[in-house]
Structure 1
């Protein structure tokens, strides 16, 4: 057994380039795993600087100085964020609060509908089990319980100090990352081994794939969200803006997101209309939107982006989501693409057949 492991190690790690790549990936992974909370503002600024580098670079090719281009792009980005926060978020927040306050009455209406079906078909449903289930649902959806949960969530995730740190430090870090990009990269490379050509090749492949992926996701979110909102508004579905935004954001988590967002849409439609033709039309239209997104929009938008099998995508969402929560889910596909790029670029000895 030892000889097999030794032979595998010598054949796979005989190239110094491969060892350097492993050390870089291992060091980056350890930093993210153990220090992600402490370095969160720095990591967020790095991600935003990476996303905003493309327009800054385009403006630089037009002859605009990098400092001026960075200032213009950052101001436009901050203006867009302010517009979204004060234009879209209040409406979504109001609908979310209204949905929370209307849950008890919606639940009563739904229970009456279910009870009517039970009276019609008593042979199919055990009434005792249904009463227990209804009691638990009422307890879970109790308004005071929801308010307590909301208070805990706000207490953990919306600390005023944390928000102030992000609001001040992150834009400053993004500005300096963009303005001094080349000097920062030049100074930081001295801390890396010299044999890093393989690592650079992996990064070049990942750089293009991540840009294509993020650009495609932004386009997909906007199209799916706007189309869903228009459809919900035409159908006169309650909380159309909130559900449209949720539908748009659900594409961030392939397969899993669409499954999760279908439940609140179906519940709201059921509580509003019951088992009626309107409910059927809404779910049919929503299914058509999801089908067009998966079979028409995604192949067009992501024609040059990452190509991963659905099994690997779902596994990446589960694994990285378990490691880093929401951030892990958000970056699951880029991280899976990184693994794929490393596997594709890994040197294969001539005497090893695959």
Structure 2
């Protein structure tokens, strides 16, 4: 079979009917909207993700015979309470620790230079003065760039205070109405699609199971890992425990890579505070245990088989989407990879199911 015939057979197999073509158009339009209008529609997408996260709690209450409006109100009030707790308790604490860490950075830098000088004296054949100067120069340039970026971000954010306030007001309103009028919104969306949508229904069910498990499971994982890290760091008397715990908790958003990146500030703060001592080693061992338990115990319990992505697929997704959309591409790399996997898995199965359904209808008519 020639390449042209093979390609023609593939096209006829997957795009031979109206539903498949409409599905392709919907996907293209959806990705185009995210790419070109993502910043403009960011409050809507944020509210959609939050509503998706809270819908599980609403469903749990309605299954216990709580009226829908009351269930939505209770979950929404809990969400607002969590936001207020973060805004008035957690954020000031993190901000104060961040300011303290920035003020301590020169001293940490000087301590690191002394450590390198000591290594050069003890191992002159392995660590040369030129290498030390190169390391110090690289570290200095990186610290300068970080400071410049922080200054630029702070100056740029001064003009966006009003936008931030509007954002913080608009997102909760959208979340409330998405939860309250979910059936109406879903019904309106379905009314725009063809009546016969067996393929779309199968793909949607696959996507819903996978992405819902990821969003809710990842939120629980962040809370658990961050809390355990904070208690562990506080137990050892490590300074900036809240700030480091938030970094460790958020690091689980980027599997493998996030854990490696979060290790650097933890090791730097522990090394500066304790020196190269037993306490320093204990902190790193405890941090390694947290990461090991997260990867080998917590993740399998939370995600089970619903998000069954190979580590290579995860790393490729992080690299690809991070290269396309920067930070937000890294942030949403796993959901996007999960979406692509759901499409790849459900599309051929959906076509087969549709063909069997049509065959059964034909036999029943005969």
Scaled by the length of structure 2, the TM-score of the pair is: 0.87
Partner of 1:150: 150
In 2, Cα distance between the equivalents of 1:310 and 1:203? 24
Q: Kindly tell me: are residues 263 and 73 of structure 1, through their superposed partners in 2, closer, same or farther at Cα, counting changes over 3 Å? A: same
CA distance in 1, matches of 2:187, 2:123: 74
2:38 maps to which of 36, 39, 44: 36
Distance 1:239 1:225 in 2: 13
Q: How does 1:204-283 map to 2 (within 5 A)?
A: 204-283=205-284
Give 1:76's aligned residue: 78
Q: Is the 8 A contact 1:15 1:347 kept in 2?
A: no
Partner SS, residue 346 of structure 1: helix
CA contact (8 A) 2:321 2:333 kept: yes
Distance (Å, rounded) in 2 between the aligned partners of 1:295 and 1:56: 30
| Deviation, structure 1 residue 178 | 1.8
Counterpart for residue 164 of structure 2: 163
- Structure 2 residue aligned with 1:11: 13
Using the alignment, how far apart are the partners of 1:245 and 1:328 within structure 2? 20
> What does 1:87-126 correspond to in 2, within 5 Å?
87-126=89-128
Tell me if structure 2 keeps the 8 A contact 1:17–1:198: yes
Kindly provide the CA deviation profile for residues 24-48 of structure 1, in whole angstroms up to 9, marking residues without a partner as x: 2112111111111111111112222
Measured at CA, do residues 149 and 340 of structure 1 come closer, stay the same or move farther in structure 2, by a change above 3 Å? closer
Distance 2:223 2:185 in 1: 34
> 1:159-188: CA deviations, max 9, x gaps?
212212212211222222222222222223
Return the offset for 1:214: 2.4
Q: How far off its partner does 1:14 sit?
A: 2.2
Deviations 1:28-86 (A, max 9, x none): 11111111111111111222222222222333344444333322221221111101221
Q: Separation in 1 of the partners of 2:325 and 2:130?
A: 42
CA distance in 2, matches of 1:316, 1:150: 28
- Give the Cα–Cα distance (whole angstroms) in 2 for the partners of residues 345 and 296 of structure 1: 29
Q: Kindly indicate whether the alpha-carbon contact (under 8 Å) linking 1:18 and 1:347 is maintained by their aligned counterparts in 2.
A: no
Partner of 1:127: 129
Aligned-partner Cα distance in 2 for 1:146–1:3? 55
Alpha-carbon distance change, 140 to 292 in structure 1, aligned in 2, over 3 angstroms: closer
The range that moved more, 281-290 or 305-314, is: 281-290
The verdict on how the C-alpha distance between 1:198 and 1:54 changes in structure 2, with shifts beyond 3 A counting, is same
Note closer, same or farther for the CA distance 1:300–1:55 as it changes in structure 2 (3 Å cut). closer
Runs of 4+ in 1 over 6 A off after TM superposition: none
Secondary structure, in 3 states, of the residue corresponding to 1:347?
A: helix
Q: By how many angstroms is 1:147 displaced?
A: 4.7
Could you list the per-position Cα deviations for residues 273-308 of structure 1 after superposition, in whole angstroms to 9, with x for gaps in the alignment? 332222222212211221121112222222243111
1:315 is matched with which residue? 316
Q: Please state whether the residue corresponding to 2:252 is helix, strand or coil.
A: helix
The answer to whether the 8 A contact 1:16-1:195 is kept is no
Change (3 A) 1:205 1:11: closer
Does the 8 A contact of 2:218 with 2:253 survive in 1?
Answer: yes
- List per-residue Cα deviations over 1:75-112 (Å, max 9, x = no partner): 22111110122111111111111111111111111111
Match of residue 202 from structure 2: 201
Determine the C-alpha separation between the residues in 2 that align with 1:58 and 1:223: 21
Instruction: Decide whether the 8 Å contact of 1:104 with 1:141 is kept in 2.
Output: no
Question: Is the CA contact 1:266–1:283 (under 8 Å) kept in the aligned structure 2?
Answer: yes
CA distance in 2, matches of 1:234, 1:58: 36
